Structure 1
Amino acid sequence: MNPHAGIDTQLVRELLIAQFPQWCTLPLAPIDSSGLVNAVYRLGPDLSVRLPHEPSSTDMVQREQTKLAALAPFLPVTIPSVEAIGSPRDAYPGVWSVSRWLTGTHPTADALADPCQLATDLAAFIDAFRRIDLPDRTPAYLGERRTRASMVSLDAPTRDAIGALAGLIDTRAALASWEESLAAPYDGREVWVHSDLTPGNLLVSPEGRLTAVLDFETCGVGDPACDLFPAWHVLAGNLHDKFRTALDVDDATWLRGRGRVLSQALIALQHHRDTNLALANYARRAIGKVLAAPR
C-alpha cells in the first residue's frame, strides 16, 4: 500500500463497518487540509476520523490519547479527545482514531474578527501550556524529520532551503535574518510547548475568540521560543508588543522564535511548493512577514 494514496471515503467507511458499526451509517466526508501527516474525515455532526498517511502499528495513537487526557484540565480552550482507536486491517495496516469534532474556523491573518482579543487568547493558551507540570516530560519535536530540533540542528537544512529558493525569495535577507536568530543565546530552560501553533492547528469562533487547538503530536518539553509561531503566522506586527508582554518574552527568545518560524516556512516551501498549494502559501506569507520585520 502506498502510504500517501489509497485512503478514501470508501476505505474509511469499510473500517467503520468492521470496527465501529455504531457509527458506520453517519455521514462521512473528507476534510480539505494542508496537513502532511493525517487524512481527516468528518463523521456525522460530532466526530472525526483520522488516519496517518504512513500507517503504523505502534502505540502512537494510544500515547496521544493518554497525553491529551492529561493535558486537557490545564488548558483554557478545548483540545482533541480520542473517543475510539481502530486497529490495523489488511486494507489499512495501521492504527487510526475517532475523535470529537471541534468547531471553529482556521484564522486568516487579514480577516480576523477581533485581532486584539485573539492575541490575548493565544498568549493565555501558551502561558497555560508553559505552566503545566507533568511527570512525562517527553521532548517536543519540530521539523520534517520529526526529530527534536535545536536551533543548531536546524542550521544546515535551513541554509539548504534558502539556497534552493533563490529566485523565489530574498535569499540575502533570509540568510541575514536566520543568522541573527541562530546567534541568539538560549539558557536551556524547557517548558511544555505545542511546537506547531500554525493557522491549521488553531480554531476561532465567528467573534474571533480562540476556541480550540489541534494536533498535539509534536508537543512536549522544549525551548519556549517554539510556541511564538502565531506572532508571524496570525498576528499583525502592531500586536507583537501586546503578545510579547503577555508572555514576558525577552529579546533572545523572540529572535529564536522568529528563526524557528522562518526555518519551518523555508523548508516547507522548498519541499512542497509544487505539491501542496495551501501549505506553500502559508509558508510564503510567514517568510514575507519575518523578512519585513525590523532587525
Structure 2
Amino acid sequence: MTMHDDQVDVTADIVATLIRDQFPQWTGRAVRPLRSTGTVNAIFRIGDDLSARFPLRPTDAAEALAVLEQEARASAELAQVSLFPAPEPVALGKPGAGYPMPWSVQTWLPGTIASDADPSGSEAFAEDLAVFISALRDAETRGRLFSGDQRGGVLTDHDEWMAKCFAESTGLLDVPRLRRLWSHFRELPRTGADVMSHGDLIPGNVLVAGGRLGGVLDTGGFGPADPALDLVGAWHLLQPGPREVLRRALGCDDLEWERGKAWAFEQAMGVVWYYVESNPTMSAMGRRTLDRILASME
C-alpha cells in the first residue's frame, strides 16, 4: 500500500539503472530496498556502505534539487558537530529511468532503529540523547533564523493544520479532550532564541545499540528552530523515568518543557489519522506519543 495518493513509484530495477547510467563506479553493487517507517523517501542500500534516498511525492525537479542540496549541506554540518554517528552526503543523482526527480546518496549507518529496538526504558539512552541535543544546541547558528512553515517556529501558525487533524481524527481519538489540550499548548509563549536542531527525533530516525544511542538519521532538516523542538524526542522515544533524566540533563524549565510537549503533540496528531492505513507503525507511534502526553497532564 502506498502512503500518499500522489506517490511516485521507484523500484530496485529503476535504482540499478540510475546507478549504472549516472554512477558507473557503483555498478554491480547489490541494490536492496529497505523496509522503512519513513514517509518522505524510499530508501535503497547500495552495496555495504551507501544508501540512496528517493523522494516519494512529485514536485518540480528544480525545486526538488534545491531542497536536496540544502539537505546535503545540513547533513554535512550536523555530522561535523554530532557526538554520535550521522550519515554524510556523497552525491546527488538526476532524474532518469522513469524516475522524474533528483535523488541523493549518503553513507550508510549500521544499526537498529528505535522502532525495532525500543530504548524507551533506558536511562543511558536518555543521557545519550541529551548529549546529542546539547551538542546541536551549542552549534553556531551563524545568524540564521527559523524559516518555513514546519515545526519549530510559532505554535499558532499550526492552528489550521490542527483543525484538519481534529476533523480527520473523529472516531479515532478523543477529539474534544485533544482540542482542549491544543488550546492550552498554542498559548505557550516563546522566550528562547533559535538554536540548531535536528527537527525530527522520532523512533525511525534514531539508531539504538545495546540500549544506547547508536546514531541519528534523516539529518537534512538540521537548522535553527525553537529550542524546545528537539524535546519531541522526550515524548516520541522515552518513558517517564528516562524522560526526566533527559529533562534534568538539559536543564529544561517548565515553559520549554511544555513547548517541547506541544511540538510533539502537533506532530503526533498529524501522523495518527494520515497513516492509519498506509503506515500503521507511524500511526501507532503517534497514538503512543499522545498517550504519554495525556498521562503527563493528569
CA deviations over 1:205-225 (Å, ceiling 9, x no partner):
1x1121211112333111111
Q: Which residue is 2:171 aligned to?
A: 167
Residue type at the aligned position of 1:286? T
1:46 aligned residue: 49
Q: Which residue identity lines up with residue 44 of structure 1 in the other structure?
A: G
Query: Where do 1:35-114 residues align within 5 Å?
Result: 35-53=38-56, 54=58, 56-57=61-62, 58-89=65-96, 91-108=98-115, 111-112=118-119
In structure 2, what is the Cα distance between the partners aligned to 1:73 and 1:199? 22
Q: Does 1:117 align with 2:121?
A: no
Is residue 194 of structure 1 aligned with residue 201 of structure 2?
no
8 Å contact kept, 2:200–2:230: yes
Tell me which residue corresponds to 1:278.
281
Please tell me whether the aligned partners of residues 194 and 218 of structure 1 are also in contact (alpha carbons under 8 angstroms). yes
What displacement does 1:228 show?
0.6
TM-score normalized by the length of structure 1: 0.90
1:129-149 CA deviation, whole Å, 9 max, x = no partner?
011004362526564xxx764
Asked if the contact 1:108–1:234 (Cα under 8 Å) also holds between the matched residues in 2, the reply is: no
Q: What secondary structure is seen at the aligned counterpart in 2 of 1:203? A: strand
How many Å apart are 1:166 and its aligned residue?
A: 2.4
Q: Is the 8 A contact 2:31 2:47 kept in 1?
A: yes
Provide the C-alpha distance between the structure 1 equivalents of 2:252 and 2:281, rounded to a whole number of angstroms.
30
Equivalent residue of 1:217, what SS?
helix
TM-score for the superposition, normalised by structure 2? 0.89
The counterpart of 1:252, out of the listed 229, 252, 255, is 255
Residues 197, 230 of structure 2: 8 Å contact kept? yes
**Structure 2 spans left out of the alignment, 5+ residues:** none
| Residue of structure 1 in register with 2:8 after alignment | 5
Match of 1:219 among 195, 219, 222: 222
1:38-88 deviation digits (Å, cap 9, x = unpaired): 110011111111111235333322222222223322110111111122122
Quick one: distance in 2 between partners of 1:203 and 1:156? 33
**Residue identity in the other structure for 2:51:** S
Structure 1 position 109, deviation (Å): 8.9
Q: Which amino acid aligns with 2:44?
A: Y
With over 3 angstroms needed to count, the CA separation of the structure-2 counterparts of 1:63 and 1:138, relative to structure 1, is: farther
- Matches of 2:129 and 2:149 in 1, distance apart? 20
Separation in 2, partners of 1:200, 1:140: 24
- Distance change (3 Å), C-alpha of 1:38 and 1:114: same
Task: Could you tell me which runs of 5 or more consecutive residues in structure 1 were left unpaired when the two chains were aligned.
Answer: none
* RMSD over equivalenced CA pairs, Å: 2.3
CA distance in 2, matches of 1:121, 1:148: 22
Distance across 2 between alignment mates of 1:199 and 1:278: 10
Larger deviation, residues 242-251 vs 185-194: 185-194
1:185 CA displacement: 2.0
Mapped pair 1:128 → 2:131: no
Query: 2: CA distance between counterparts of 1:286 and 1:193?
Result: 20
Write the distance in 1 (CA, Å) between the matches of 2:83 and 2:230: 16
Higher mean Cα deviation, 45-54 or 119-128? 45-54
Quote the Cα distance in structure 2 between the aligned partners of 1:70 and 1:286. Answer: 29
Indicate how the Cα distance of structure 1 residues 77 and 13 shifts in structure 2: closer, same or farther if over 3 A, else same: same
Deviation at 1:199, TM superposition (A): 0.5
Say how many residue pairs are matched: 290
Rate the CA distance shift 1:125–1:36 in 2: closer, same or farther, 3 A: same
In structure 2, the CA distance between the partners of 1:73 and 1:154, relative to structure 1 (3 Å rule), is same
Task: Classify 1:141/1:280 alpha carbon distance in 2 versus 1 (closer, same or farther; 3 Å).
Answer: farther
Among 244, 262, 272, the alignment partner of 1:241 is 244
Change (3 A) 1:138 1:89: farther
Contact between 2:165 and 2:270, CA under 8 Å: does it hold in 1?
A: yes
Separation of aligned partners in 1, 2:113 and 2:146: 27
